[in-house]
Chain A
Amino acid sequence: QKEVEQNSGPLSVPEGAIASLNCTYSDRGSQSFFWYRQYSGKSPELIMSIYSNGDKEDGRFTAQLNKASQYVSLLIRDSQPSDSATYLCAVIGAGNNRKLIWGLGTSLAVNP
């Protein structure tokens, strides 16, 4: 059974701080990694994708991938109250299938 694990939180940070979200996955052959944001009652909204080991930066967001440790993380710099949401880690596993395998998500609260 291919699994994606996240700490469910809640993670609480003050406004302006760095929020660090973590994700591990079980399928060593996984090839594509995504972070989505989900507000309550809404659909997942893509934040970032990452495919290679290392860091990928986009504005205030940095994704980090370590395939040897089967670990993906998301850093949010200068956190804003509008960043308060559930952050979902999703992975496409090995093989020709394209389905996303999801973590349960980490709830982030940014306090003004």
Chain B
Amino acid sequence: EPEVTQTPSHQVTQMGQEVILRCVPISNHLYFYWYRQILGQKVEFLVSFYNNEISEKSEIFDDQFSVERPDGSNFTLKIRSTKLEDSAMYFCASSEWGIGRTDTQYFGPGTRLTVL
């Protein structure tokens, strides 16, 4: 069964460093998302991406965040200058769109980001 994959599973970085989190969405899906979950808190929406552009972003997704689809399969989240409060699980998700579309979002296994 097709699934969303994410790498790395765990990333440890120093405050102020840049990190790139990678995702491979399900191949026939056209909508991509990033969410994060701080330990013990709700899952929070960061950004959605469709047709090679951001379709919506949250207040969390400020100038230090960016997303990119560098090729036909990868979808990346870049945090330019990490802060302690960026420590969280980051989940990538995708959903299909088109004839017979569904808005069900399928999640990757997540990347645990630890900022020291």
Contacts and interface: CB of A to CB of B under 8 A. Distances in A.
Given A32-B103, A43-B109, A98 B91 contact: no
A90 B35 CA distance: 13
Interface string A81-111: 0000000101010000111111111000000
Contacts of A25: none
A83 B19 CA distance: 35
* Interface bin, chain B: 20 to 34
* Interface bin, chain A: 20 to 34
Interface stretch (A11-19, A44-52, A59-67): A44-52
B45 interface: yes
Nearest to B43: A102
B13 interface: no
Interface in A18-65: 32, 34, 36, 41-46, 49
Q: Name the residue among A34, A43, A46, A103 with the largest chain B CB count within 10 angstroms.
A: A43
Contacts of A92: 103
B56 interface: yes
A105 B39 CA distance: 13
A98 B103 contact: yes
Interface string B15-35: 000000000000000010101
B31 A98 contact: yes
Contacts of B75: none
B55 A98 contact: yes
Contacts of B31: 98
A98 B110 CA distance: 20
> Which 6 residue pairs across A and B have the least CB separation, nearest first?
A99-B45, A102-B43, A43-B107, A43-B110, A97-B56, A102-B42
